[in-house]
Structure 1
Amino acid sequence: MDQRISFITLAVENVPRSRRFYVDGLEWEPMFEDGDVIMLPVGEHLLLSLWSVEGFTAEIGEAPVRGIAPIALAHNCATEEEVDRVLSLAASLGANTHPAVRRDWGGYSGYFSDPDGFRWEIAMNPGPTGDYVLP
């Protein structure tokens, strides 16, 4: 098996609400949407899929566990100012945010939760992974 991820799928309670947050609010461009799912290109050969809980459950065979998912998605920024701008935008869209701070590992990061509680780290990373910033 190749070492890669092609899709990250989040089971969301309300697809239109998620669309308002990601597409209308964050201004991400969908590649595909049909009312039950929205697919957003988020990297080379990588899609973020926002899928209704009902569709997710029908295909997988069991409902997702409720509560805070023990995972964080991350978005690298080029500067600390950009981190602050993204967190401010998320807050203006109603996201629960935790302000950015300088971290022991040398970076600067904060967090927000999307409408379904999925956590996003917004970071300026000075290390090797910090060189990889999507345009």
Structure 2
Amino acid sequence: MDQRLSFVTLAVRDLAASRRFYVDGLGWHPAFEADGDVVMIQVGERVVLSLWDAAAFEDEVGPIARGDGAPPFTLAHNVPTRADVDAALELAGRAGAVVHAPQDRSWGGYTGYFADPDGFRWEVAWNPDAIGQLVLPE
């Protein structure tokens, strides 16, 4: 099996609200939409973020575990500068996200978080190390 990730799928409670957040709020562009079912957004050269209606997700994948707190993973958006972290979090806040202020991190970077309408946490990070530079567009 190739070492790669093709899709990240998020089961969302309100597809229209998620679409408004990502498309209207963040300014991202759908690559594919099936009305009321799924919105797919190309987020990398060969990576798609799929926002899938939770009921349709459960029909295919199975029951969703629900509970209090943040989902036990994060999505990340790395940027080339500290100022870009602040700008991205400001945009997310204007789009309706709950924003957790950026901080200098012990490992040398600068990151903050925002939560989308379903509470999925996005880290916005400036990482000056080689691994941080590896994921930036050329």
TM over 0.5: yes
1:44 to 2:45 alignment: yes
Q: What's the secondary structure of 1:51's corresponding residue?
A: strand
Number of residue pairs the alignment of both structures matches: 135
Tell me the distance in 2 between the aligned counterparts of 1:15 and 1:64: 18
What are the ranges of 5 or more consecutive residues in structure 1 without an aligned counterpart?
Answer: none
What are the ranges of 5 or more consecutive residues in structure 2 without an aligned counterpart?
Answer: none
Residues 11 and 64 in structure 1, CA contact (< 8 A), matched pair in contact too: no
1:23 to 2:26 alignment: no
Q: Assess, with a 3 A threshold, how the Cα gap between structure 1 residues 44 and 64 changes in structure 2: closer, same or farther.
A: farther
Q: Residue in 2 aligned with 1:86?
A: 88
How does the TM-score come out when normalised to structure 1?
0.94
RMSD over equivalenced CA pairs, Å:
1.3
Q: Aligned runs of 1:1-135 on 2, under 5 Å?
A: 1-35=1-35, 36-67=37-68, 68-131=70-133, 132-134=135-137
Q: Identity of aligned pairs, percent?
A: 52
TM-superposed CA distance for 1:61, in Å, is: 2.4
Q: What's the secondary structure of 2:108's corresponding residue?
A: coil
Q: Assess, with a 3 A threshold, how the Cα gap between structure 1 residues 56 and 64 changes in structure 2: closer, same or farther.
A: farther
